Copies of this chain bind each other. A is one copy, B any other.
Amino acid sequence: MSETSGTTANSTGIGSTRVAAYLREAILGGELKPGDRIRQEEVAERLGASRLPVREALRMLEAEGLTEHEAHKGARVPRLSPHEVDVVYRMRERLEPLALAESLPQLGPDEHAQLAEVQQRIEDNEDLEKFLDLDREFHMLTYSGCQIDPLMSNVTRLWNSTQHYRRAFVALGGRSRMWVVNSEHRLILDAVVRRDADDGERFLGGHIRRTRIELSHHPEVFG
């Protein structure tokens, strides 16, 4: 998948969106870790593009909270302190219930079925690595009815910026926490199907809060 270009190397641009997609996956996938520097020419060469679309891509990713920039010093994957991660979770605690409340009325039987299916896949899943993506898919699906861009882009940023620490936490906490997570997902799913916004906000808020508290007991995540 890496050799997007290969033969091309010609006509016109590789596309800054493609470069952005490549880097996005690299960061969310864990190949690029917080603190890692991203050299323009390196990724340009790897993708067979010039440095210009890379520059644009880095700026796009900055808007998504995946990179940070400093003039003449280049781009890095942001590193968050334990306290910063804690505050991001507090932000999620407050914002995501709002997104859920906005989304709920827009979700129909199709989305409900899809949600149940994803949740089932989470429970059947054994791969810790897969869990990350499935969990994200579940929550994002519950928000999929929320059309408010300023809200959804913020929520996405919060997930993005803590992705690395979520991964470390999942790898660490192992399967013991899974049971709790799945119970809470079931409660959220039930509230969604019942279209009960109050319950949804309550359960979701609690879900995120408990995760935050658990996380605060595991400083080794920030190794």
Q: Which of A114-122, A154-162, A165-173, A192-200 contacts B (4 or more CB under 8 A)?
A: A154-162
Q: Quick one: which of A50-87 are within 8 Å of B by CB? A: 55-56, 59-60, 62-63, 65, 71, 78, 80, 83-84, 87
Residue of B nearest to A94 (CB): B94
- Interfacial chain B residues near A88, Cβ < 8 Å: 148, 150-151
Measured in the bound complex, the distance between the Cα atoms of B84 and A95 in whole Å is 14
Is the CB of A98 closer than 8 A to any CB of chain B? yes
Contacts A17-B71, A63-B59, A71-B17 given; indicate if A154 touches B102 (C-beta within 8 A).
no
Measured in the bound complex, the distance between the Cα atoms of B201 and A182 in whole Å is 33
- Interfacial chain B residues near A161, Cβ < 8 Å: 150
Is the CB of A149 closer than 8 A to any CB of chain B? yes
- Interfacial chain B residues near A94, Cβ < 8 Å: 94-95, 98
